[in-house]
Amino acid sequence: RTGSGKSATGNTILRNYEFHSKKSLRLVTTTCTKVTGEVDGRSVAVIDTPGLFDPSLTKQQVQEEIMKCVSLSAPGPHVFIIVLSVGRFTPEEKNTLDMIKMIFGPKAADFCIVLFTRGDTLKTEYNILYYIKFLWKDQTIEQYVENDAELKKLIRDCGNRFLAFNNTETQDQTQVIKLFNMIEEMKRSNQGRYFTNEMFEEANERKNQAQVEELTAKYDVQFKSMRTRLEEKKQRADEEREKLKKKFREQEETLRREFEEKEQSDQKKRETEDQKQSEEEKQKRDEYKQRIEKIKRETEEQIIQYEEEIKEREEEERKREEEYKRDQEKMKNDHEHMHLYSFNHITFVHFIIQFNHIINYHI
């Protein structure tokens, strides 16, 4: 019910003012809000929801908040907390559990706890037992429940799980510990499982699919980037190889011209000297020939060595690309099945308050 103290209860559990809360008969919380924290060494997630019976909400808004709640609490909550204020038990509150079971299925009742507040978000100095005793002649919360047949039926349908909260004493964790103990006992009866149905499973599947698509897009970008770098390296290697070949051709052409010029000069000289060839001239020609052969041989060796280095680098890049493809395929397969394992080691308690005013508590 609107103004029953759902947001204040979430703040009491988290020991912090996380949800906007004030004393009002009108709707304070308008959208589903999820807050995580640590309580008594436990990782806790609480989802505060608007009053779905509030007349200010349209049917479309109710449906949108239900889907948002499902998405926030995926893969499923450990507990639905139905928050009621001590006072008149309204017709809407009588139908709360039926509405929860209609939307989430009959098994949702096995995950419900009824929590009574007095809507004490003004931080008064009174506690909930004071209100109960003052208004109902020293009644305890158990006696208060016992005196209302319809309220008693609601609690019986929730496995007789109920307790009272004083939201003005946010630092007193006794009541929070009592709630946690009740949740632990309920978890044991549910074999430690969190609540799930098709809506939660679909929300979790969408979440996992989104993660897979995100990773796939990320790997595609990385793969394209790697492919671009490899192509650039290959292009640079081809350019370097062409430069080396061009340099060799230029050196060869220069030496050839020098030799021809020398030959022509020597020929003229020989003709001038009656074509007498001295031993010294022959030696010089041989030296030129040897020089040419040596340069040619050294250049060819440089080309061979460089091409071998290029082949080795291309082979290394090819192996790295194949290894990257295998890693990418493996990671894709791992993320396609990660919903089978992602919650084996991390537990969350999701509290979802009031029909879709649900506080999701995750351990």
**pLDDT grade for 130, boundaries at 50, 70 and 90:** very low
More confident residue, 211 or 338: 211
Is the CB of residue 206 less than 8 Å from the CB of residue 70?
no
Helix (H) or strand (E) holding 3, with range, is: none
Residue 200 lies in a domain: no
Look at residues 210, 195, 219 and name the one whose alpha carbon lies nearest to residue 343.
Answer: 195
pLDDT at site 182 = 93
**Tens-digit pLDDT profile for residues 21-69:** 555 444 445 677 888 888 888 888 888 877 656 667 776 776 677 777 7
Is the CB of residue 326 less than 8 Å from the CB of residue 242?
no
231 and 190: one domain? no
**pLDDT grade for 341, boundaries at 50, 70 and 90:** very low
Overall number of domains in the chain:
2
Query: What residues does 48 pair with on adjacent strands?
Result: 33
Range(s) of the domain holding residue 286: 205-340
94 and 239: one domain? no
73 and 160: one domain? yes
Residue 17 has pLDDT above 90, yes or no: no
Is the CB of residue 347 less than 8 Å from the CB of residue 180?
no
What percent of the chain stands above pLDDT 70? 73
Residue 55 lies in a domain: yes
241 and 303: one domain? yes
Percent helix, strand, coil in the chain, to 5, is: 60, 10, 30
300 and 221: one domain? yes
335 and 350: one domain? no
**pLDDT grade for 113, boundaries at 50, 70 and 90:** very high
**pLDDT grade for 4, boundaries at 50, 70 and 90:** low
More confident residue, 31 or 120: 31
For the chain, the average pLDDT equals: 75
Residue 352 has pLDDT above 80, yes or no: no
What's the burial of 251, exposed, middle or buried (CB within 10 Å: 0-12/13-18/19+)? middle
134 and 50: one domain? yes
Residue 86 lies in a domain: yes
Strongest mean pLDDT among 59-68, 91-100, 160-169, 197-206:
160-169
138 and 221: one domain? no
CA distance 27 to 47: 16
85 and 176: one domain? yes
Map residue 215 onto helix, strand or coil.
helix
